[in-house]
Structure 1
Amino acid sequence: MERRLATILAADVAGYSRLMELDEERTYGAFRACRSAIAKVIEKRGGRIFGGAGDSLVAEFASPLEAVRSGIEIQDAIDKIPLDLPEGHKMQFRIGINLGDVMVDCDDLFGDGVNIAARLEALADPGGVCISGNVHEHIVDKLRLRFDDLGFHELRNIAKPIQVFRARFAGTTAAMSKNSRLLPAKPSIAVLPFDNMGRDPEQAYFSDGVTEDIITELARFQQLYVIARHSSFQYRDKAADILRVGRELNAQYIVEGSVRRNDDQIRISAQLIDATTGIHVWADRYDSRLADLFSVQDEITRRIVGALAVRVEDEDWAKAGRKPPGSMRAYDYWLHGKHSLDLYTREANSEARRLFESALALDPNYARAHAGLALTYDRGAFYSAWGTDPMGSLEKAEDHAKKAVALDDTDPLPHVILGWVHLGRREFNRAKEQLELAMAINPNDADTLAKSALILAWSGEGTASIELAQTAIRLNPHYPAWYQCFLAGCYLCAGKYPEAVAIWERVPDATPETRAFLAAGCVFVGELEDARRHMAQFMREYPQHFAGEPNARHVRRLFEFRHRADIDRLIDAMCVAGLPK
């Protein structure tokens, strides 16, 4: 039988069966549209489709370079097709590419060269591309792409481990991070929302607070990879299939539990589960007085870390210590205030400020309340229509953030706020110092990394900031929209305008200023009609968030870039899009 060396591309639809269950006809129609687009790309790149069944296809290329180009272009083409699918769903393909020896039987190809491509496709993220080590060797210096080295993997029915690389390219960043199925080298863990077992459903905020505290404490350990709160809270009030949750969050271990609060008594139950097997690793129940809540949370953290057999030094335990409030009512105010902050509106910001001030009235030395208050003033300084004195707000943000650090130096948030304060004063080196302190305190805090990334980008370190923003996204697979907004800002500052626009177009309303950035990005890539549309929308909404008239002079004050040429270029582009000078 004839044999030859060939590059094989294997692709299939992620979650195809589920889509078919929802709507067979619309799903099949969408698949046909995608397959037609895929066939055109493959033909253009000199490949040929020789196999596939159902929602999959397999193609052959003579060149590894053309196969990888084809894979990237396929994902880009599919992302742009307007598909008629059930609301909230999209069609995404996984792609695997391998270079290997194949057997030839008429027009069909067989053998390990084909099988490995299929196994790599199974490892890829929806919307992503995985390639084998030998493909990477042939294309690494020939494409302007970056690749994540995912190490060697044992593939089913393949004798030797195969080195796997994941392509990183604009337009698929979200898919790569949201659906990653390859487990990190260090133990990865997600804490699901603890159930509120009390009679009062209004007490759900309290069980959420307990959960968030445990996430925060676990995240302080560099030896762990901790999934962010925003992602794990997607599973609230759902019957959790632990194995599925583990796959979706890329977590090896899952913590779940419950909280029952009755006057000044609490009962907390917690269990640690191996998400790859479903086996319970550890479980316990704690009955205590409400005043001892923080001791119980610390004990749960210690038991989890111990069960994972992580080597933790004494100084790591010391760093994980925190100072509880002197009043549990102050803690209640903190929890309600944090919820208001998450709403990200003028009214909610004012309500959060009132709640944090109430907490401080009960406990003037409560560090978290000072940090929360600092954040409300920081937002009031930037969104100038949310208050009456932006510069005074910036000073108050600094005062409360410094107070929080003095009272408890284990919280990264005050350092991030101080970073923003220094940025607002164009003190770029001092801003970076605060960010480094925040990341040293809690290297797993995805919010800290995302916010730090944008500050670095505005400080002139666009390329380095992209990696930091992508790390935040990997830590928080179900990240909020502003993560992508910040990542796009990093791409913009690095001069990668098409990548920035592709991301911003998915989240145009993530923050009040996003459409202004998107308008400038569209100018940079020559899409003037879209630029004018986005700028018109930004200007209509401007008075809700910013004081003064929407013109170049006022908008310039929003963006504190280190290099004047960068802000000049940005404002000039916004003016081309329709911003009055």
Structure 2
Amino acid sequence: MSASNYAVMFADIAGSSSLYKQIGDEPAKKAIFSCLALAENIICAHRGIVVKTIGDEIMARFDDPNDAIEAARNLQMQVDQNFSFDGAKMAMRIGVHYGPAILENNDIFGDAVNTAARMVSAANARQIVLSEPTVHALAQDLCALAHRFDFAKIKAFKESVPLYLIEWEATMGNVTTLMPVSRPATAESKRGFLVLQFEDQKHAVTADQTDYTIGREAQCDLVVPSPFASRKHAWVEYRRGKFVLVDHSTNGTWVRTGDNQDIFLKREELPLWGAGAISLGEPLENNVDYVIKFSL
């Protein structure tokens, strides 16, 4: 089956797990449902197609990357202006990549999807992060709103690639000025590695590797057959001198850190340090068979 170019968008609600604690389960569920419904309406209004929703995240595809960016900017504006529940302000994180992908039964597959997922994982609340191919495909007026702010390693590319933020606020008075960023150090200048131990096997993740994937799917670098794990549950990347665990799952990830604290991640990331443990999709105290140990 041949691939065609699509703009793939991921948009998720930043800090949704803390929203449940702030305003309670039912109000939070209603707020998230309303926010995702708004996202779906805006995507469709900009000639996009919703591929799926996963928890607090929506995935969409567009034939034209300009439509994807206009949808993303409109969504950020609408959420920023209209979504506050019981004093809790809601915010979105959005990532977009434009490139070849395979469409099958309204689902979409390929490196374009994985790269778009990396864009949203790099975004903070109220940000839209784009890949460089996306920026190059935009019309001049939208391209002028994009600013490079960082680099990241992505499997689809041989070298670290630049990441771009795109302006969306009606007034830029509250926008932080972005400092120019330098290209990260080459792999030869990096030191150290992360050891992941699952069952009786140890896996070394080095600084020069691209995303090291963990999940239930056979194609993952570390396969964990837990029924609570997502197919591609999380990944580890080396960024600015740190090994960072990035969750991209349905059920979340529990991490016992080097200082013996338990931290829950859901569509969030955490730098790893010392020695600890990782549990996919269930708390560590409930996990008997599928605990991953790590050490640095």
Question: Does TM, scored on the shorter chain, surpass 0.5?
Answer: yes
How would you bin the TM-score normalised by the shorter chain? 0.5 to 0.7
2:138 aligned partner: 139
Indicate whether 1:6 and 2:6 are aligned.
yes
Whichever residue aligns with residue 103 of structure 1, its letter is I
Contact 1:126 1:176 in 2 (8 A): no
1:80 aligned partner: 81
Distance (whole Å) between structure 2 residues aligned to residue 30 and residue 277 of structure 1: 32
Cα distance change of structure 1 residues 33 and 277 upon mapping to structure 2, 3 Å threshold? closer
How many equivalent pairs are there? 189
Cα distance change of structure 1 residues 158 and 18 upon mapping to structure 2, 3 Å threshold? farther
1:68 aligned partner: 69
Distance (whole Å) between structure 2 residues aligned to residue 109 and residue 175 of structure 1: 36
Distance (whole Å) between structure 2 residues aligned to residue 171 and residue 278 of structure 1: 40
Distance (whole Å) between structure 1 residues aligned to residue 175 and residue 52 of structure 2: 26
Per-residue deviation, 1:143: 2.6
Matches within 5 A, 1:6-85: 6-22=6-22, 23-85=24-86
Per-residue deviation, 1:77: 1.0
Cα distance change of structure 1 residues 33 and 39 upon mapping to structure 2, 3 Å threshold? same
1:122 aligned partner: 121
More strand by share: 2
SS in 1 for 2:54: coil
2:107 aligned partner: 108
SS in 2 for 1:170: coil
Whichever residue aligns with residue 77 of structure 1, its letter is Q
Distance (whole Å) between structure 1 residues aligned to residue 167 and residue 150 of structure 2: 16
Contact 2:129 2:165 in 1 (8 A): yes
TM-score for both structures, normalised by structure 1: 0.30
Per-residue deviation, 1:277: 5.8
1:90 aligned partner: 89
Distance (whole Å) between structure 2 residues aligned to residue 15 and residue 103 of structure 1: 31
Contact 2:147 2:165 in 1 (8 A): yes
Q: Which runs of 5+ in 2 are unaligned?
A: 184-258, 260-269, 275-296
Per-residue deviation, 1:53: 0.6
Per-residue deviation, 1:278: 5.5
Per-residue deviation, 1:158: 3.9
Contact 1:75 1:93 in 2 (8 A): yes
TM-score for both structures, normalised by structure 2: 0.56
Contact 2:101 2:109 in 1 (8 A): yes
SS in 1 for 2:85: coil
Q: Which runs of 5+ in 1 are unaligned?
A: 187-240, 242-274, 280-581
Matches within 5 A, 1:24-423: 24-85=25-86, 87=87, 89-139=88-138, 141-143=140-142, 145-155=144-154, 157-160=155-158, 161-170=160-169, 177=176, 185=182
Cα distance change of structure 1 residues 121 and 167 upon mapping to structure 2, 3 Å threshold? same
1:193-213 deviation digits (Å, cap 9, x = unpaired): xxxxxxxxxxxxxxxxxxxxx
Q: What value does the CA root-mean-square deviation take over the aligned residues?
A: 3.4
Whichever residue aligns with residue 153 of structure 2, its letter is E
Cα distance change of structure 1 residues 5 and 19 upon mapping to structure 2, 3 Å threshold? same
Distance (whole Å) between structure 1 residues aligned to residue 126 and residue 132 of structure 2: 20
Per-residue deviation, 1:148: 1.8
1:211-266 deviation digits (Å, cap 9, x = unpaired): xxxxxxxxxxxxxxxxxxxxxxxxxxxxxx9xxxxxxxxxxxxxxxxxxxxxxxxx
Cα distance change of structure 1 residues 99 and 82 upon mapping to structure 2, 3 Å threshold? closer
Cα distance change of structure 1 residues 126 and 47 upon mapping to structure 2, 3 Å threshold? same
Higher relative contact order (CA 8 A, sep 6+): 2
Whichever residue aligns with residue 164 of structure 1, its letter is L
What percentage of residue pairs aligned between the two structures are identical? 22
Cα distance change of structure 1 residues 71 and 82 upon mapping to structure 2, 3 Å threshold? closer
Contact 1:45 1:70 in 2 (8 A): yes
Distance (whole Å) between structure 1 residues aligned to residue 75 and residue 171 of structure 2: 11
More helix by share: 1
Cα distance change of structure 1 residues 16 and 149 upon mapping to structure 2, 3 Å threshold? same
SS in 1 for 2:39: helix
Query: Which has the greater radius of gyration?
Result: 1
Per-residue deviation, 1:147: 2.0
1:527 aligned partner: none
Contact 1:127 1:175 in 2 (8 A): no
